[in-house]
Structure 1
Amino acid sequence: MTDETSELEDSMSPVSADQITLTPAQRVELLQLAGAGRTPQRVAQRVVMVLLAAQGWSNTAIAGSLGVCCDTVAKWRRRWRAAPGLPALGDAKRSGRPPRFTPVQVAQVKALACRPAAESALPLSRWSAPELARQVITDGICSRISASTVRRWLDQEALKPWQYQSWIFVTDPNFATKAQRVLELYGRQWDGEPLAGDEFVISADEKTSIQARCRCHPSLAPGSARMMRVNHDYHRRGAVAYLAAYDVHRAKVFGRCARTPPASCRSNRSWRR
């Protein structure tokens, strides 16, 4: 006997052969789902089918009450019988639209984003999604692709070729010798001898020409759905210099702010670091 014949007999019989018995917990869960305002209409209808079937209603009676065909009632009755639970009332997985791009094409686009734009003979310092999409078409990876598709693929791998981080190469030929002295001091060593208890290692630096500005109006603190507001107008109060020193081994910071000495007291000094 085929499934179509079985469904037809179920819909024509006063009581279906797929009898449904609900536990108290299942009944409460189904009633709550049927009465919830956020439940999709198609799911709520399937819940009502199961509840009525559990009360002994036939497929024909349920179909007439809900305005659906008997085959629909028989299908959801069988699904619940096969696997009682809310997942049985969900839609089956569909294959969907076939993909336009192959996995190889996706990998080629990501590989292109990981190479500098100069390798593709482009006058660009770094890639952007539109430029990548145009270059993908130029290289023949695919015939058509949008910048949003490229951006979505790169986002999956956390690739951001439009961002960059700079660094510098050490060019001092005596870098190793100088670095060794600093590292020895951090290890409380000097010329192969340990430092005494009354000797300190201080790392000092200065921040010069800090603009001292006084806002014409006080700033407003941030609030709900509002960022901090800072008045654009200000008065100049000159510039200050901040000197700070850090005790390497005791983790203590020494800082000092002082007034600018008179012009007669200023002199050019060569600081040795």
Structure 2
Amino acid sequence: MCRRKSAQYMVLRAKIILAGAEGKSLHKTSQDLECNRETVTRWRQHWVERSDDLSVLECLKEAPRPGAIPKFNAEQICQIIAMSCDKPEDHGYPFSHWSENSLSSSMRGWPSHLSGLSKAVLCRCEYAWVLRLGHTSP
């Protein structure tokens, strides 16, 4: 069975479609590719629904998942992280380290999409930064 990696899943999906084009049954395809019948059925159905409107690669991609649209893009998150990496003294503040409160307050004069960020949003941005780069503090 394929591991959960995008490229490998796209190959599996392509094999499912090609097996269908060769006339293989759902059962035979699922046995040959070591996946369940529901997966074969779903991807053959996706192919039929999408093949007229999209390129081959687009047809093999997962459909977008439901959920909230991200409120901040990568550039905005980088601005937040960059600010948290600066020393507060460089911005005229009388303290040596940022807290979520002071960082949030300092952004009040920023463009509207970044001003007044909640402490929770700042914590999530900093936490993501710590996880990605392996730092213990910004």
The TM-score normalised by the length of structure 1 is 0.28
TM-score (norm 2): 0.48
Question: Is the strand fraction higher in 1 or 2?
Answer: 1
Higher relative contact order, chain-length normalized (CA < 8 Å, sep 6+): 2
Higher Cα radius of gyration: 1
